[in-house]
Amino acid sequence: MRVLVLGGDGYLGWPTAMHFSSAGDEVWVADNFAKRQWELEEGVEPIAPVPTLHRRVRRWKELTGKTIELRVGDLTNHRFVYNLFQAAQPEVIIHYAEQPSAPYSMQGRTTAVLTQMGNVTGTLNVLFALRRHCPDAHLVKLGSMGEYGTPNIDIEEGYLTVTHNGRTDTVLYPKKPHSFYHLSKVHDSNNIAFTCRIWGVRATDLNQGVVYGIDTTETLLDDELATSFHYDHVFGTVLNRFVVQAVMGQPLSVYGKGGQTRGILNIRDTLQCVELAARNPAKPGEFRVFNQFTEEYSILNLANLVQETGRTRGLDVVIENVANPRVEQESHYYNAKHSKLTDLGLQPHLLTSEVVGSMMDRVERYRDNVNLDTMEPRIKWVGGGVEAG
Ligand code: USQ
């Protein structure tokens, strides 16, 4: 397949590009490197320096003989997107190119607007470029389980059949997102569903849970092929943060009671799920929604697992319930369906003490790089936080 990965410099985008290239697909990547700029502005860094995308693409070629085509540009510039789609003629477009952090989006007006303008405009440009230059291409868009929030009923895969005043219809599942970032994904989902309906676009929205992990088969080939692993309060996801805290002898920062339940998945399973979606495309006009996670965990249970694993390795890991900087339910019903990717053949890498232990080993190697000042949550959902304009 000709695969175009948008956001190819990111935590998931780069491993995805190598994964398809390694399978023999023709891979193009595009990025504007905005994430690197936001890291500079926030004063945070990945745990290990991440070589530039140009360097990684060169290294990949040296090691495997395979070419990844690289284009630099911004999806909010529609001319860039049109030219890119015309040149690449992708059969599948994997779209990760968005501001990915809920806390970042909640700092204030500036970052909320940047997140929604960038994410929503970029996706609209992708849809228009797709219609113009490759109308048969399959759009695989990274959405989020946080679009649904934590409703008091079962979460279905994208759609809900409702009977109202004696009549029945199937509608997009109602959304109660956690942040302005998650809202941007809801807006994207609606825009994509609309273009499937009116233009016959074929699309899969992957509502992904919280990803953890550092390594994939391809990143392990060479240090220079590493992906960006964050543990800071802006871009670090919860399990990645807990593992770094455990290794560094810091208390695990459970926000509030820790009863928040989330779908989680290993970074290796992100690659598997995206590949399954790409190789089994949606039909023309179909807006397909997959809930992309492999298991559910409460935040406290994640902390317990990290604590137990740490103790078997002689680490004295303490759990601390810190005041929750977010507005979210800390104890709630949660039952999210996630059978569609399993039906396509997903073989999950489940979370075990061994997996946590191997993450600890990797983090240990970089312990001298860890900046503890960037760990404490400083962005609050209501008032009192860092106000970026
Ligand atoms: N949390 C803690 N302690 C921490 C960090 C987080 O208790 O030190 C809690 C949060 O309060 C939240 C949960 O852990 O309840 C998840 O937080 P997170 O920062 O790991 O993930 P989130 O903000 O939800 O966003 C991440 C990714 C985002 C993706 C989303 C999937 O950054 O790109 O869309 O996970 S999901 O959460 O399913 O919507």
Ligand 1 center–CA 112 separation, angstroms: 17
Closest Cα to atom 6, ligand 1: which residue? 238
Query: Given the CA of residue 145, which atom of ligand 1 is nearest to it?
Result: 38
Residue 380 placed within a domain: no
Query: Given the CA of residue 377, which atom of ligand 1 is nearest to it?
Result: 8
Residue 376, pLDDT above cutoff 70 = yes
Residue 183, pLDDT above cutoff 80 = yes
Ligand 1 center–CA 218 separation, angstroms: 26
Query: Given the CA of residue 245, which atom of ligand 1 is nearest to it?
Result: 8
Q: What is the pLDDT of residue 16?
A: 99
Q: Is the dihedral of CA 182, 185, 158, 289 positive or negative?
A: negative
Do residues 147 and 186 touch, judged by C-beta distance below 8 A? yes
Residue 238 placed within a domain: yes
Ligand 1 center–CA 237 separation, angstroms: 5
Residue 382 placed within a domain: no
Q: Which CATH number characterizes residue 298's domain? A: 3.40.50.720
Q: Which amino acid is at 248?
A: M
Radius of gyration of the chain (CA): 20
- pLDDT, tens digit (0-9, with 9 covering 90-100), for 338-365: 999 999 999 999 999 999 999 999 999 9
Task: Read off the tokens for 189.
Answer: 């989902």
Residue 311 placed within a domain: yes
Q: How far apart are CA 235 and CA 36, in angstroms?
A: 11
Tell me the pLDDT band of 387, cut-offs 50, 70 and 90: low
Residue 378, pLDDT above cutoff 80 = yes
Residue 119 placed within a domain: yes
Q: How far apart are CA 123 and CA 74, in angstroms?
A: 11
- Number of folded domains in the chain? 1
Determine the Cα angle at 33 with ends 367 and 145, to 5°.
Answer: 75
Find the distance separating the first CA and the last CA of the chain, reported in whole Å.
Answer: 44
User: What is the pTM assigned to this prediction?
Assistant: 0.98
Q: What is the pLDDT of residue 383?
A: 73
Residue 389, pLDDT above cutoff 70 = no
Q: How far apart are CA 137 and CA 199, in angstroms?
A: 12
Over the chain, what is the mean pLDDT? Answer: 97
Ligand 1 center–CA 295 separation, angstroms: 15
Closest Cα to atom 17, ligand 1: which residue? 238
Q: 168: Cβ–Cβ under 8 A, 6 or more apart, which residues?
A: 161, 162
Which residue among 99, 178, 237 has the greatest number of ligand 1 atoms within 8 angstroms of its CB, and so is best to mutate?
237
Show the domain range for 47: 2-375
Find the mean pLDDT for residues 378-383. 92
Residue 385 placed within a domain: no
Find the mean pLDDT for residues 276-280. 99
Q: Which amino acid is at 76?
A: T
Query: Given the CA of residue 236, which atom of ligand 1 is nearest to it?
Result: 19
Residue whose C-alpha is closest to residue 139's, from 81, 179, 184 = 81
As a three-state string, the secondary structure of the chain is CEEEEECCCCCCHHHHHHHHHHCCCEEEEEECCHHHHHHHHHCCCCCCCCCCHHHHHHHHHHHHCCCEEEEECCCCCHHHHHHHHHHHCCCEEEECCCCCCHHHHCCCHHHHHHHHHHHHHHHHHHHHHHHHHCCCCEEEEEEEHHHCCCCCCCECCCEEEEEECCEEEEEECCCCCCCHHHHHHHHHHHHHHHHHHHHCCEEEEEEECEEECCCCCCHHHCHHHCCCCCCCCCCCCHHHHHHHHHHCCCCEEEECCCCCEEEEEEHHHHHHHHHHHHHCCCCCCCEEEEEECCEEEEHHHHHHHHHHHHHHCCCCCCEEEECCCCCCCCCCCCCECCCHHHHCCCCCCCCCHHHHHHHHHHHHHCHHHCCHHHCCCCCCCCCCCCCCC
Residue whose C-alpha is closest to residue 343's, from 283, 284, 273, 282 = 273
Find the mean pLDDT for residues 214-236. 97
As a three-state string, the secondary structure of 83-139 is HHHHHHCCCEEEECCCCCCHHHHCCCHHHHHHHHHHHHHHHHHHHHHHHHHCCCCEE
Tell me the pLDDT band of 178, cut-offs 50, 70 and 90: very high
Closest Cα to atom 8, ligand 1: which residue? 253
Find the mean pLDDT for residues 279-303. 98
Q: What is the pLDDT of residue 384?
A: 53
Query: Given the CA of residue 252, which atom of ligand 1 is nearest to it?
Result: 8
Residue 212 placed within a domain: yes
Ligand 1 center–CA 103 separation, angstroms: 9
Query: Given the CA of residue 237, which atom of ligand 1 is nearest to it?
Result: 20
Query: Given the CA of residue 146, which atom of ligand 1 is nearest to it?
Result: 39
Residue 383 placed within a domain: no
Ligand 1 center–CA 302 separation, angstroms: 12
- pLDDT, tens digit (0-9, with 9 covering 90-100), for 234-274: 999 999 999 999 999 999 999 999 999 999 999 999 999 99
Residue 226, pLDDT above cutoff 80 = yes
Residues with CB under 6 A from ligand 1: 100-102, 144-146, 182, 208-210, 237-238, 241, 253-255, 260, 262-263, 299, 326, 328
Q: How far apart are CA 16 and CA 211, in angstroms?
A: 14
